[in-house]
Amino acid sequence: MHDIYDPTPRPEIDWEPPREERLSLSRGDALALAGLCAVLFGVAFLAWRDEPLLAFIAAAVGALVVIESWLTTVGFLNRCPPVSLRLRGTIFLAALMPWMVGLSVAVGFILSLFWIYDHLS
């Protein structure tokens, strides 16, 4: 009898690594990244007067999120057939939306805790 600690023998599987694909970037993709980062840093600059440390952390984490989502989207778009500019923008937005909502809620929660602390003490 075999169990998870003594599994039955399995035949060897031939595995070939996936072929390398070059990531091709268009000027629009680079402008989208620059625009998203500009908006992010603009919002962080506005929040700087209220809470500098939170603005810095949100900008740093937000930059990582923007770059990760942008690279994921560009990788996806390289594998699919050419699409319209509007659909590309929708795909970029779909990759960013969960992060934007999550980070906005987290920053709002932290700011509300600061506000409560300032007004109750």
58-87, pLDDT tens digit by residue? Answer: 788 888 888 888 888 888 888 888 888 888
Residue 8 lies in a domain: no
Question: How much is the pLDDT for 1?
Answer: 61
pTM listed for this prediction: 0.64
Is residue 103 assigned to a domain?
yes
The tally of domains found in the chain comes to 1
Residue 5, in any domain of the structure: no
Let me know if residue 80 belongs to a domain.
yes
On whether residue 2 sits in a domain, the answer given is no
* Residue 72 counted as domain residue: yes
User: Which residue range(s) make up the domain with 116?
Assistant: 27-120
Phi-psi sector, 2: left (phi>0), alpha (psi -120 to 50), beta: beta
Helix residue ranges per DSSP H, the chain: 27-47, 52-79, 85-120
Gap between the Cα atoms of 48 and 118, Å rounded: 17
Gap between the Cα atoms of 52 and 114, Å rounded: 13
